[in-house]
Chain A
Amino acid sequence: DAGITQSPRYKITETGRQVTLMCHQTWSHSYMFWYRQDLGHGLRLIYYSAAADITDKGEVPDGYVVSRSKTENFPLTLESATRSQTSVYFCASSPGGGQGVYEQYFGPGTRLTVT
């Protein structure tokens, strides 16, 4: 049971470059999320998706683009990376359906450094 995976686990890129972080889940969960984690801020939501082809902005969406053509994949793209986007990025998923299933399950994270 692979669960939820992220790739790469570590990435160093230069300012202005485009970079894509991948997220893949094997549970067929309806919901998927991208968070960034910075010291002193906890986790902040970047984007989320309720189903394939349905995405919406979170708290800090500027500078990021997402897509979800398949239920199991939810890539996050930084179109022109900036140093302020240096962070640890977490992908998470959550089942849809009836009341009571709201917890999210997280991937291992990607540490991104923008130089």
Chain B
Amino acid sequence: AQTVTQSQPEMSVQEAETVTLSCTYDTSESDYYLFWYKQPPSRQMILVIRQEAYKQQNATENRFSVNFQKAAKSFSLKISDSQLGDAAMYFCAYVRGSARQLTFGSGTQLTVLP
């Protein structure tokens, strides 16, 4: 069974600084996809970024980028120029290419300090 581990239950960052959230996963599959979701206090789950395992290039979405290390099964999220609105719970998620069910990590609560 696939597992997703987020080893940092809580993180904090100063406004305008950079923070990196860690995620590791365990799989024997070669075809899979990885995601980061954000859950602000409103409780809405928002897709932040996705990464296809077959792509070597790290995904980037504005201030959000990932460091995808396939051999190490690591998928960290970097948030640059942190803003107060980035404060949220962040979930890492995995899905194998032949299925549709997401497996989530337990989340990292990010606090942005003014």
Contacts and interface: CB of A to CB of B under 8 A. Distances in A.
Interface of A: 31, 33, 40-45, 48, 50, 58, 88, 90, 92, 94, 99-100, 102-106, 108-109
Contacts of B46: 106
Interface string B19-30: 000000000000
A42 B44 contact: no
B86 interface: no
A42 B100 contact: no
A87 B104 CA distance: 16
Interface residues of B, number: 21
Interface in B74-98: 91, 95, 97
Contacts of B37: 106
20 contacts: A33-B102, A41-B106, A42-B104, A42-B106, A42-B107, A43-B91, A44-B104, A45-B102, A58-B101, A88-B43, A94-B100, A100-B52, A102-B97, A103-B35, A103-B50, A104-B102, A106-B37, A106-B44, A106-B46, A108-B43
A102 to B, nearest CB: 5
A43 B104 contact: yes
Nearest to A94: B100
Most A-side CB within 10 Å, residue of B37, B43, B97, B106:
B43
A48 B33 CA distance: 18
A50 to B, nearest CB: 7
Nearest to A111: B43
Contacts of A104: 47, 102
A44 B1 CA distance: 14
A92 B102 CA distance: 11
Contacts of A99: 97
A1 to B, nearest CB: 15
